[in-house]
Amino acid sequence: MSITRRGLLRSSASMSLVGAVPLNFLAAPAIAQGGELTAVTWGGPLLKANEVAAEAFSDSTGSSVLWELHEGGSANILSKIKATWPDSVKYDIVQALDPVFIPMMKEGWLEDVDDVEGLDQIAATLVDNFRDANGKAKVVPVATDGSYYGYRTDMIDMPITKVTDLLDPSLKGKIGLLDPSLYTFSPYIAMALELGGDERNLEPAWEFLKELAASGNVAQVLKSDVDTINALTTGAIGLSYTGIGNWGPIDKAVPVKLLHKEDESNGFKAFLYTLGWGILKGPRSELAKEFASFLIRKDLNEAYGAATTAAPANVNAQTSPEIAKYVLSTEEEIRKYAYFPDFDYISQNLGEWSKRFETEIQPLLRRG
């Protein structure tokens, strides 16, 4: 576990999750007038929250934000940026997680953000996780986020307490696996952890996945967060893996058991991430910095965290009290139930893992 991450979560007291609520943003002082940004985010609660924030930003500044959604996992944005870089900078500001920011920094695509107003109100440990070799901050953190397994208790009677329970015959046709591009392979790293491996030793997970795929318990492979939310809420599946921000809306729609505090399991952990904004070097980078500054204001970040079911990054922002079911609220819980993946290593191997999933697991799923 990274000392930096541990310190961050101890200081912020919790990894928060609440159901999506309306964002009541206060009007911000007028900044620069006019201009249009192209921003990238996910669908679902994050898109809704970002759209509300962008509308408030537009009302205040006269500038507009055009949204584009990540297709599949957020890592897919890397190839889209690289395809036209540096001749054409299509995206101005990208919302992503640690595993995507690391290669963006290595490519030299990101602006320095030390001059973003309000960055000094973000937990220093969080900002410091994304400094380059010259000590320059490269990411504007907006929240701490995470992901884990969960299941519908009205569809699955047996208690699920460890990863190997997924092989139980009563789960036939009830499990939704994720496309390997989603959540940087965390669902499958969790399987490896349960069976004595980790991200550097995935062989136990590959063997388990083959057995699971052949069992007939897997109903489908989900391609996006929206797919996962819809599949769980409609009953197309009863068990899957998704982000904290999605479990809130799912839990409001159907009864669920969240698998992030299972004493019998080494794999059912909460995988923790940093949700932030990367500003690309380009003609609109200054306007993008103004938008990022707007988003991390105390009042906006507080409301944003509540609406997206994540802990706000601004140290002065308060998390919602309605979080007990979803959080790791003490250092002891964090030490016991949280997992901090090696995102740099994952980013170097994700492409190979995705190909292996396609060639070794997908054929078994079709037969199963």
| pLDDT per residue of the chain (368 residues) written in tens, 0 to 9 | 332 333 333 333 333 333 333 333 333 443 445 689 999 999 988 899 899 999 999 999 999 999 999 987 788 999 999 999 999 999 999 999 888 999 999 999 999 999 999 999 998 878 988 999 999 999 999 988 789 999 999 999 999 999 999 999 999 999 999 999 899 899 999 999 999 999 999 999 999 999 999 999 999 999 999 999 999 999 999 999 998 878 888 999 999 999 999 998 999 999 988 899 999 999 999 999 999 999 999 998 888 877 777 778 888 888 777 665 776 655 577 678 888 888 889 988 999 999 999 999 999 998 75
Task: Report yes or no: 41 and 47 within 8 Å, Cβ to Cβ.
Answer: yes
> What is the structure's pLDDT at 28?
40
The token duo for 170 is 């009563």
Query: In angstroms, rounded to a whole number, what is the distance separating the alpha carbons of residues 359 and 366?
Result: 12
**Domains, in order of start, for the chain:** 3-145+272-329 (3.40.190.10), 147-271+338-367 (3.40.190.10)
Mapped onto helix, strand or coil, the DSSP state of residue 68 is strand
Query: In angstroms, rounded to a whole number, what is the distance separating the alpha carbons of residues 311 and 319?
Result: 6
> What is the structure's pLDDT at 319?
74
> What is the structure's pLDDT at 241?
98
- H/E stretch holding 102: helix 98-107
> What is the structure's pLDDT at 99?
82
Tally: H helices and E strands in the chain: 14, 11
Task: Report yes or no: 340 and 5 within 8 Å, Cβ to Cβ.
Answer: yes
